[in-house]
Amino acid sequence: MASALPGPALVSGDDSRPEKHSALVMRNISVRGRRTSIRLEPLIWNILSEICHREFCTPHDVCSYVVERKPPGASLTSSLRVFILDYFHKSSNEDGHRAAGHGQGMFISQQQERREMRAIKADRPELRFPNDLQRNPQGDKSGPGPA
Q: What is the sign, positive or negative, of the torsion defined by CA atoms of 74, 75, 76, 79? A: negative
pLDDT at 3: 44
pLDDT at 93: 86
Angle 119-123-115 from CA coordinates, rounded to 5°: 5
pLDDT band with cut points at 50, 70 and 90 for residue 9? very low
E runs forming strands in the chain: 25-31, 34-40
Q: How far does the chain reach from its first CA to its final CA, in angstroms?
A: 50
Question: What is the DSSP code string of 84-129?
Answer: HHHHHHHH--HHHHHHHTTTS-TTHHHHHHHHHHHHHHHH-GGGT-
Which one has a higher pLDDT value, 60 or 132?
60
pLDDT at 16: 47
Query: 72 and 82 in contact (C-beta within 8 Å)?
Result: no
Report pLDDT digits (tens) over 21-57.
Answer: 669 999 999 998 899 999 999 999 999 999 999 999 9
pLDDT at 78: 95
Report pLDDT digits (tens) over 96-131.
Answer: 888 877 777 777 777 888 888 888 888 876 665 555
Phi and psi torsions of 117, nearest 5°: -65, -40
**Please, which residues bridge with residue 47 across strands?**
none
Rounded to whole angstroms, how far apart are CA atoms 138 and 107? 38
